[in-house]
Structure 1
């Protein structure tokens, strides 16, 4: 079972999320929190697999809580769940190490899928967020940034670059394995090695770096 904690300051929103997730046989909501501080307390006490975390909450907001949880509970995967799709929130959440970003107007099936994907160790971005990430790279790119990104990728072997390129295209471990004729376990090993070499905390950061270097733009 995937153990989930839901953090949102609106009780009705939390109830709705719990109802949606209850439709999945492999997901269990083990606790709720109404602000960032309570979310940290619940995660550290219960060792959740996934935390669904709202951004705007009273007291400690979600982004501040995310920054602390990255240090206190690195094994808990955080999905930012919000109605706010502004680039400043997306960028800060991804830079802070969020494993996923999902807008509250997403379909129930997408919420379930996001939890399952993130619990499996992969990253999940809603389609609208994915478009923003690619746009962010294009808008903030430049020769200096591209050169720096390319330099960082120089530490990778040819096979690791192949894995990173497919990762940057949004493929799952299973899809990458199918493309490169490798088992899913082998792909997971390569992804872990790539993240370590690039000093990236998650797949999203690695994908952004790859796009900055011009890799995976096809």
Structure 2
């Protein structure tokens, strides 16, 4: 992307005042760049990449492969896969603060679908994709999370109906869309939780 294109992209994510502050210029200067009335100095493009687009520029075109980003957080896993040539076509994240940051980090076109509550998404409404990424909630399985829930007398693992069963929403999407590959991220204790029965259930579901 050239400097003008980077400026346009920045203005889709930030206000002219925010862009100006990040680049150390007057907002009127940003406005003149936007209108193509003046040409940005050579260093501006690098400054935009470093200060306004820390997660990188969006991949152009169709990308080498299509992927979806479930339980996306602020988009850390997405960033890595975009750098490998992938194009994100679907995102799911429910936390409002994470969503705000995610949308500031990535500017997606009209063909990209963003959903908040994955439990309300019909699997057939998810776009076709090559790779599924999911960092499903770790609290019901982590050592700290289980300890806290036990101290409060609350269920954990799959018995936690709010977070513990979200893995099965990932599984139903995999079953319906059959991506070529998937990456599921959680915590170390997942393998030993409930004496290994939790991980055994996950493997059985994925294999079937």
TM range (shorter): 0.3 to 0.5
**Which is higher, the Rg of structure 1 or of structure 2?**
2
Q: Which TM-score applies when normalising by structure 2?
A: 0.36
Q: Which TM-score applies when normalising by structure 1?
A: 0.35
